[in-house]
Amino acid sequence: MALVVQKFGGTSMGSIERIKHVATRVLEEKEKGNDVVVVVSAMAGETDRLINLVKEITAEPNERDMDFVVSTGEQVSAGLLSITLNHMGHSAVSLTGWQAGIKTDDAFTKARILSIDTDRIKNYLKQGKIVVITGFQGITESGDITTLGRGGSDTSAVALAAALNADRCDIYTDVDGVYTADPRIVPEARKIDVLSYEEMLELASLGAKVLQIRSVEFAMKYKVPLRVRCTFTSDEGTLIKEEDETMERVVVRGIAHNKNEARITVERVPDKPGIAAKLFDALAEANIPVDMIVQNVSVDGYTDISFTVEKNDAPKAEKITRKVAEEIGAKGVIRDDRIAKVSIVGLGMRSHAGVAGKVFDTLAKYGINIIMISTSEIKISCIVDEKFTELAVRVLHEAFGLDKNE
Amino acid sequence: MALVVQKFGGTSMGSIERIKHVATRVLEEKEKGNDVVVVVSAMAGETDRLINLVKEITAEPNERDMDFVVSTGEQVSAGLLSITLNHMGHSAVSLTGWQAGIKTDDAFTKARILSIDTDRIKNYLKQGKIVVITGFQGITESGDITTLGRGGSDTSAVALAAALNADRCDIYTDVDGVYTADPRIVPEARKIDVLSYEEMLELASLGAKVLQIRSVEFAMKYKVPLRVRCTFTSDEGTLIKEEDETMERVVVRGIAHNKNEARITVERVPDKPGIAAKLFDALAEANIPVDMIVQNVSVDGYTDISFTVEKNDAPKAEKITRKVAEEIGAKGVIRDDRIAKVSIVGLGMRSHAGVAGKVFDTLAKYGINIIMISTSEIKISCIVDEKFTELAVRVLHEAFGLDKNE
């Protein structure tokens, strides 16, 4: 007998009809003889409805009361699912975040889970009950309701799985797993059956539609096997788990792309210590996260520094960069919003040479110029002109044989 | 400096525009230098929306989860009011029933308040905050969310006022007070400025549109002065408080009517001990509340027994009565759904003779036949043919001079 945590998102819970279908997925697991804890999001559209009510009052509500209001969405859906399960003749009970013992810090609207007191859940499981818990929320030390930020229900599910020492955490969603590339771009993309936490984190931009990154980090930290599967089909989905010896055999696991970044280049920066620090400190102070940073070897006492930020942040980042550039006597600042990041990811890169060369050759063969390069042990990312995004993904997908069975 | 509990109903909280208006009523009280605790209902229509979602699943949901779902309505409105007050530059905080320390029994959907732990509320008040609390709900010993039944927010407000030893509990609603009669029937009806708890309870059918009866009983028990006033006007409303020496001077305080009862008469019942008990035990067993009971003196060893029940219960009550009538050898059973109860209420009746006579004379003068009569120390109720309801109310209102100033 296993303990399984299941998480259902807002689309899966989007209507009474769908909640009834979710109930059948819960019962499938229960009828295997497993203990089942279910974590649910608010019904699709409900959180937005609540936020819009608040926005009618003010664009800047106090965040404690905001969480107080918004957390009700999951309470409704959890209650409805429990009512459905009970109506179908099974014993179920609904719990809010605080009833489930989920303690968080007091960073309202984006709280972090500190600990989970699982006594009450375990008691219900011992009584044979299915326990339905509101995702996305918890309670502070002083008894205030918090939310974990958008998509936080995935984190709730993984944290509960970790605290309960569950055998598996299944994230049910409207896609049937993680793919070798975005299937809308590469029709030959295959569903990945199994991959490691590290690979999943690097494939963030594929997984972001499916999984909140924080929940993968959490699962990795606590070694909770995570499965992404579809609410509406019986496909086994994608399993994300600890690296094992078979995994390194696959050189490239998948290809991710991201059109949501912009590049900023500072030209002819005097190559003196502390210059880069000055720039990135200023950006950090303005709360602008920087993704890739590339600086070339200086040839004549001057160097170029390029970095990427989210497109939303680009205008503000450019302004700050111009100010710093002036102070440090750089020649100028160029901003380019029409770029894309294409990344190939795979544990096998660690032990296989020549992967980078093959990436560059492949892109060159199709006339795709590489603007920036950044690598990690299991990833190679290239910044290319935005117009080449789909082409780059497709030719790399083919070059590394991702359309063929592993 | 006083402590005032204010309660706003669903109509008052029906939209963001209205919630903003409610905020101004709260601030009026706060700006007098008073401590203010606000109890709110769900936005009009919201509780029904939630109930309808549940009814899509089943007509008989398990009640624990039902309360889990339905209690969110007040959480949203309390949060929205607190956001509004904070946005207007005042310090406010929203609390759920459990956060406010409202402990109830576990009779889900109709729980009763057992105790209130006011520490948290008092702490916030000490900090100068306006405390906004969800009406209609509490928590059981074992940490389950309960609701108090429809209209329970009035009870929440009065219970909080009692527990906090508040100087007053103001119930804001969409009418401006309790009237000497229903103004839709008697245009000359006057708003009553002040009356006693006992009178208010007897005038239930006037007050039911305004106040939940349980909340009046609660206020009476704990001697909390209760004021009914309108959210949308500045009228002082009606004050309901402990009887004082001036109150008995008014013989008749108001006239109530109720068209929602049916009469059942058992004809020619053998006048033997235990016969009435047999009938009313059977009705009690079927959970049918009986209002008036009239039995005349027996003349020839037989008597007639008449009683009234709610119209909804009448068919079931008739069936039970017919069965008992057969068993006890009564002649027959008559049911009449077309009756009305007209009651005059006033503390002064205790010390003024001739009130009953005046009621009977007045009705007789207008050809209104009295079917049943029932009296208490401060009330005379007559059952009349339904078609005379409005006429009876109007002529009694005039006969006792209720259209004139006290």
pLDDT given for residue A211 in this prediction: 82
Mean pLDDT over each residue of chain A, to the nearest integer = 93
Residue A48 CB-density burial (10 A; 0-12 exposed, 13-18 middle, 19+ buried): middle
* Closest-CA distance of chain B to residue A74, Å: 9
Question: Any chain B CB within 8 A of the CB of A58?
Answer: yes
Are the Cβ atoms of A87 and B58 closer than 8 angstroms?
Answer: yes
What mean pLDDT is predicted for residues B214-230?
93
Residue A103 is inside which H or E element, if any?
A: strand A102-104
Question: Pairing mode, if any, of strands A370-376 and A379-385?
Answer: antiparallel
- d(CA B217, CA B198) in angstroms, rounded, equals 9
Dihedral angle of Cα B313, B318, B319, B324, to the nearest 10 degrees = 120
Mean pLDDT over each residue of chain B, to the nearest integer = 93
- d(CA B68, CA A83) in angstroms, rounded, equals 10
Are the Cβ atoms of B87 and A61 closer than 8 angstroms?
Answer: yes
- d(CA A372, CA A294) in angstroms, rounded, equals 7
Residue of B298, B305, B302, B300 lying closest to B277 (CA atoms): B305
Interval B252-277: pLDDT, tens: 999 999 999 999 999 999 888 888 88
Q: Which chain B residue has the Cα nearest residue A56?
A: B16
Are the Cβ atoms of A79 and B68 closer than 8 angstroms?
Answer: yes
Interval A215-246: pLDDT, tens: 899 899 999 999 999 999 989 999 999 999 88
Record the pTM: 0.85
Q: Which chain B residue has the Cα nearest residue A59?
A: B87
Handedness of CA A131, A137, A138, A139 (dihedral sign): negative
Give CATH for domain B246-400. 3.30.2130.10
- d(CA A36, CA A33) in angstroms, rounded, equals 9
pLDDT given for residue A298 in this prediction: 76
pLDDT above 90: residue B1: no
Residue A222's Cα: distance from chain center in Å? Answer: 17
Domain B3-244 class in CATH: alpha beta
ipTM of the complex: 0.84
pLDDT given for residue A208 in this prediction: 60
pLDDT above 90: residue A26: yes
Query: For residue A356, which amino acid is it?
Result: A
pLDDT given for residue A406 in this prediction: 53
Contact of B136 with B100, CB cutoff 8 Å: no
Q: What is the pLDDT confidence band of residue B246, given thresholds at 50, 70 and 90?
A: confident
**Domains in chain B: boundaries:** 3-244, 246-400
Q: Nearest by CB to B79, which of A68, A86, A94?
A: A68
Question: Any chain A CB within 8 A of the CB of B93?
Answer: yes
Contacts of B67 (CB under 8 A, 6+ apart): B108, B109, B111, B137, B144, B145, B146, B147
What mean pLDDT is predicted for residues B223-234?
93
Angle at B360 between CA B356 and CA B362, to 5 degrees: 115
pLDDT above 70: residue A25: yes
pLDDT above 80: residue B248: yes
For domain A3-174, say whether CATH 3.40.50.300 is its number.
no
Question: How many residues belong to chain A?
Answer: 406
Query: For residue A40, which amino acid is it?
Result: V
pLDDT given for residue A271 in this prediction: 84
What mean pLDDT is predicted for residues B346-369?
92
Question: Pairing mode, if any, of strands B238-241 and B226-230?
Answer: antiparallel
Question: Any chain A CB within 8 A of the CB of B109?
Answer: no
pLDDT above 70: residue B228: yes
- d(CA B347, CA B245) in angstroms, rounded, equals 10
Question: Any chain A CB within 8 A of the CB of B204?
Answer: no
Q: What is the pLDDT confidence band of residue A214, given thresholds at 50, 70 and 90?
A: confident
Question: Any chain A CB within 8 A of the CB of B55?
Answer: no
What mean pLDDT is predicted for residues A68-80?
98
Q: Nearest by CB to B69, which of A57, A79, A143?
A: A79
DSSP string, B83-126: HHHHHTT--EEEE-TTTTTEEE-S-TTS--EEEE--HHHHHHHH
Q: What is the pLDDT confidence band of residue A207, given thresholds at 50, 70 and 90?
A: low
* A62 chain-B contacts, CB cut-off 8 A: 82-83, 86-87
Interval B99-150: pLDDT, tens: 999 999 999 999 999 999 999 999 999 999 999 999 999 999 999 999 998 7
Kindly state the DSSP code that residue B357 receives in the 8-state scheme. Answer: H
Count interface pairs A-B at CB distance under 8 A: 112
Q: Which chain A residue has the Cα nearest residue B18?
A: A57
- d(CA B349, CA B69) in angstroms, rounded, equals 47
* B78 chain-A contacts, CB cut-off 8 A: 68
pLDDT given for residue A405 in this prediction: 64
Are the Cβ atoms of B62 and A50 closer than 8 angstroms?
Answer: no
